[in-house]
Amino acid sequence: MGMTVTDIYRYPVKSCRGEWLPAAVVEPWGLAGDRRWMIVDGDGLVVTARECPRLLLVTPAVEPGAIRLTAPGLPELTVSIPSVRRDRDLVPVVVWQSKLVAAPASEEAGSWLSAVAGEPVRLVYLDDPTRRRTNPAYSRDTDRVSFADGYPLLITAASSLTALNELVAAGPLADEGPLPMRRFRPSVVVAGAAAWSEDGWRLLRIGGTAFRAVKGCDRCVLTTIDPDTAVHGKEPIATLARSRRWDGKVWFGMNLIPDLPPGGAAGAAPEIRVGDPVEILDQADRSDGPPR
């Protein structure tokens, strides 16, 4: 059997809980509704679950013209998409190396999220997703990304997680496994691939949509936080550091950029669906080294 999509996830608010989808529209900057919202501090700097693990307990749900937030111990809150009529309605924000502007959400949303984070934060919305470029070292001048860490989508292979969990089970921290795929916050999960074969993928098609696999995903401490409890552990970083460490980083998954027709395809927006076939159009022969 060939490769197929088993799971699709989007993350409406950066660093908050994701949602499983049976299908998703593919936009140039990511899946529709994915990471268009972000939490920032008083200076506009991104605040993530790396520093505030409890953000992983916030469940966002996309609604028409709004987002609905729930979290343990707090009342449900619906936040409208901010209205932007002029440039002065926007505020400067910084997400890693990117400096851009975004639309501030209501003060009520900031107060609600501050109660979760335990520090003063604000919620902002990326009203124009064409503002932020991907890393030019691995992409084209026309490529764009939402508030995701670096690229529009992340693909992972179920077989690679199985192989990783086998290594965890054989190591000194076996009690921390097995780890769910949700630790890695993928956009798309595929079955039917050989473990770690995604390292060599360069071009692929999911359903009828083509993607460039531009760079492996180097992983951070966020993967060591249990998404259900917000409790820190040491896995999977400890095992990845023994088995998949190159260039001083550890690696799991591949970053994707959609190859959509210029100006958008005629007719319906492209979609990917659970059950879609996955075809590898080009791949590199890899010796041991970072998946790039």
Tell me the pLDDT of the chain averaged across its residues: 95
Query: Is this structure's pTM higher than 0.85?
Result: yes
Residue 32: pLDDT above 70?
A: yes
Q: Which of 99, 125, 151 is the last residue of a domain?
A: 125
Q: Cβ neighbours of residue 175 under 8 Å, at least 6 residues apart?
A: none
48-52 mean pLDDT: 96
d(CA 56, CA 216): 24
Residue 267: pLDDT above 70?
A: no
pLDDT at 77: 98
d(CA 7, CA 158): 10
Residue 164: pLDDT above 80?
A: yes
pLDDT at 29: 97
178-193 mean pLDDT: 98
d(CA 34, CA 31): 5
What share of the chain has pLDDT > 90, as a percent?
Answer: 91
Q: Which residues pair with 98 in a beta bridge?
A: 95
Same domain for 140 and 279, yes or no, is yes
Same domain for 113 and 239, yes or no, is no
Same domain for 45 and 189, yes or no, is no
What share of the chain has pLDDT > 70, as a percent?
Answer: 95
Residue 262: pLDDT above 80?
A: no
Same domain for 141 and 278, yes or no, is yes
Same domain for 147 and 258, yes or no, is yes
d(CA 57, CA 71): 6
Within a domain: 209: yes
Amino acid at 50: R
Within a domain: 289: no
d(CA 164, CA 178): 9
Same domain for 119 and 230, yes or no, is no
- pLDDT tens string 194-207: 999 999 999 999 99
d(CA 23, CA 248): 36
Q: How many domains does the chain have?
A: 2
Residue 278: pLDDT above 80?
A: yes
Same domain for 177 and 264, yes or no, is yes
- pLDDT tens string 227-258: 999 999 999 999 999 999 999 999 999 999 99
Domain with 94 in it: 35-125
Same domain for 26 and 164, yes or no, is yes
Are 47 and 41 within 8 A, CB to CB?
Answer: yes
